[in-house]
Structure 1
Amino acid sequence: MDTLLEDMFARLLARSCSTTFVRAAERDPEDKLLALVWDEIEESGLPNALVAEQDEGFGLSLAQILPLVLLMGAHAFPLPLAETMVARALLRRAGVEPPLAPIILATALSHEDQATIQTAGLPLARTAGYMLVARGETFDLVELSPSVLSSSRNQFSLSARVVAGAEQILNTIPSGALALRETIAFLHAAKLAGAMQSVLQMTIDYAQTRSQFGRPIGKFQAIQQQVSVMAEHVAAARMAVQLASGTGRMFPDPLAAGVAKECASSAALVVAQIAHSVHGAIGISREHDLQLYTRRMAEWRAAEGAESYWATQVGREFFASNAARTADFVRTRLSA
């Protein structure tokens, strides 16, 4: 089942998610092509991958959909499919029929103001129709419209902050014990891992074809060293994400998710810097694909806490554990 889904989604992305498609989405988030691609995704049943089988879903675990989330990052997929999978599972579990449109996930900046919902910048908010937002002990399903989305400082960004009123809330469900922020952070970490893999391959290909002083720049030891550092960070981020998904359940272990986000966000900074260094000025040009990925990586890195935030959370867990050594903490808490 896992391989079949991955192969099917990979074919869909290869057919429908070219860099031309990504650029079209960034120019106009309401482009009809996005709606057509989403209709094809709906027909495949992928948005219901985490929904229980008794609720007409696939009943998959987080580890089983991880290859799909990695592919989303690898293609800079401009629709919040991974977030929709989680949102639909939560809504169906609470007995609520989810909307047939992309749903983003968010945590409110404040739980005290019941009349207004405010969020930080949310990646892909501009291509979503709804938002499932954590506010204290409840999750609110909010309808999105251009009026509740902040104007972007970057004309090509699909991120936006949300400022909505209570009248936009369509439904409310109990949050239970789910740590939604950690789950969102995990999804961003997985997309980062996928995007970094693409950026690494892009950089290797460029280094093999761009010549200087009569030979490909990839033949120079300095470039080889930089690419090796990139590869190390990409591999570490992917391993952290895989470990965090290994609970066998619908949602990750909160601490492991925090570690994955810290690792992936830290790696993203290094990988983007080296990629642009190897590519030179061409990498930041609008015509080149590299900037499509590194801009998206910057947004995922910052969303729901950058590396410093999650390093602090993991550090607090370590000191609260009374573990004598870091290795003991890793074995007993992170390897459980």
Structure 2
Amino acid sequence: MNTKENDLFADAAREVLNAQCTPAVVRAIEAGGRDAAATQALWAQLEAIGLPDALLSENQGGSGLGLGQVFGVLEQCGAHALPLPLAETMVARALLAQSGTACGAGSIAFAQGQALADGSWHCPLVRQGALAEAVLVQTPSAWRLLKVDQAHRSDHADVHDAALTWSSAQVHAAPVVAVDAELQVRNLQAAVTAAQMAGALLQVFQRTLQYANDRQQFGRSIGKFQAIQHQLAVMSEHVFAARMAAQLGCSGDGVRPDRLRVATAKARCSEATLIVAELAHAIHGAIGFTEEYDLQLFTRRLHAWRQTAGSEAYWHAVAGEALLAHEGMTLDMVRRITDVAAAH
């Protein structure tokens, strides 16, 4: 799969999301939840162009792609504030297919859970659990694919998220997903989240740049003022550094990302979120915080994604432990992380 072919998938995602995932649709999905007509219509469009199955092999009805080859698709999800777990579904369906587990149609979220004393499984936070149809749950002892409508649900502050608990009977009736012991749902979720953050960060920067050029103050656009230009320059630096790191996090073939590359990607994107969102709202002023203005659709998601699968503090610790355990020059480890060709 060459770069030109990869771009075709990103272009297809951009085209359908431009038409079907407008800010008005995003708001309708947030208001209506999983059963809203807007939710079902948008998901049907994503299924129609085959994006949820892109990581499946061609023999299984997919396109045989790896995470690195769908980075552009994941980026477009963030750039359009897609309120549905397409990225997680793509990876989950690939894992389920590889394990021989049937999953059927519908969206799938990721979660880490805990097995309680009575045999039930509890997930205190399922990102987009209020919108997904199923959750691929990892506990220390097993992975299972569990249906959201069978769970006891408690809402979170973010309308997309939920705390979910399945009874012992529901857990035992659900299929066990056979994966290798070293695979961690946190790594998978962090990799695809960083890619979406990269798209949202670029969107926030572009919207802020446009606003600075359009907004007039004292007879000229505010983008002409040196202080604003400095803020935009800082935003640009963080946005494009985060995008490069996110690409590293998804680099390689298959759907099992390198943990150290994921640590680099998620930490850098989470760091960038704090600075880029702060500067974007500073330049926009009060209007940027209003519900009617679209900027908050992206910055709100970025703050949620910053904590998803671990914030920068968690992933800095992962990178630090790897560095302390590394024998040899630090530069050798940096080269291994950044040498994309070695991942193919």
State the TM-score, normalized to the length of structure 1: 0.94
Q: Is the 8 A contact 1:137 1:174 kept in 2?
A: no
Q: Does 1:20 align with 2:24?
A: yes
1:34 and 1:13 map into 2 onto residues whose CA distance is: 13
- Contact residue 150 and residue 166 of structure 2 kept, 8 A: no
Query: Mean Cα displacement is larger for which, 85-94 or 159-168?
Result: 159-168
8 Å CA contact 2:143–2:176 kept in 1: the answer is yes
Equivalent position amino acid for 2:160 in 1: L
CA distance in 1, matches of 2:23, 2:192: 22
Q: Closer, same or farther in 2 for the Cα pair 1:314/1:111, shift >3 Å?
A: farther
- Residue 317 of structure 2 corresponds to residue 312 of structure 1: yes
Separation of aligned partners in 2, 1:294 and 1:332: 32
Counterpart CA distance in 2 for 1:44 and 1:96 is 23
**Aligned residue for 1:291?**
296
Partner deviation per Cα, 1:137-167 (whole Å, 9 max, x = no partner):
521101102853322235xx21222222233
2:165 aligns with one of 163, 166, 190: 163
> How large is the RMSD of aligned CA atoms in angstroms?
1.7
Instruction: Output the CA distance in 2 between the equivalents of 1:187 and 1:228.
Output: 27
Aligned length: 332
| Aligned match for 2:203, one of 189, 195, 198 | 198
Aligned pairs for 1:178-217 (under 5 A) are 178-217=183-222
CA 231–179 in structure 1, closer or farther in 2 if over 3 Å, else same: same
Measured in 2, the distance between the counterparts of 1:204 and 1:135 equals 44
The equivalences for 1:226-245 within 5 A come to 226-245=231-250
TM-score, normalized by length of structure 2? 0.92
Give distance in 1, aligned partners of 2:199 and 2:97. 28
* Residue of structure 2 equivalent to 1:136: 140
Q: Secondary structure at the match of 1:248?
A: coil
Which residue does the alignment assign to 2:274? 269
Q: For 2:302 and 2:273, how far apart are their aligned partners in 1?
A: 7
Asked if residue 218 in structure 1 is aligned to residue 234 in structure 2, the reply is no
1-structure distance, mates of 2:157, 2:253 = 40
**Does the CA-based 8 Å contact 1:121-1:303 persist in structure 2?**
no
Identity of aligned residues (%): 38
Task: Tell me which amino acid in the other structure corresponds to 2:128.
Answer: L
Q: SS where residue 142 of structure 1 aligns?
A: strand
Inter-partner Cα distance in structure 1 for 2:284 and 2:150: 36
Q: Is the 8 A contact 1:137 1:175 kept in 2?
A: no
In the alignment, structure 1 residue 145 sits paired with structure 2 residue 160: no
**Which residue of 2 is the match for residue 4 of structure 1?**
8
Deviations 1:52-108 (A, max 9, x none): 122221110111111000000000001111111111111111112212110001122
Secondary structure of 1:171's aligned partner: coil
Report the Cα offset of residue 113 of structure 1.
5.0
Contact 1:50 1:61 survives alignment (8 Å): yes
Q: For residue 63 of structure 1, what is the aligned residue in structure 2?
A: 68
Contact kept in structure 2, 1:6 and 1:68, CA below 8 Å: yes
CA distance in 2, matches of 1:123, 1:149: 13
Which sits farther off after the overlay, 285-294 or 29-38? 29-38
Q: Take 2:185 and 2:147, find their aligned partners in 1: how far apart are those partners?
A: 19
Matched with 1:121 is 125
Q: Which residue of 2 aligns with 1:72?
A: 77
Match of 1:91 in 2: 96
Output the CA distance in 2 between the equivalents of 1:146 and 1:278.
45
Residue range with higher mean Cα deviation, 223-232 or 40-49: 40-49
The farther-off stretch of 8-17 and 170-179 is 170-179
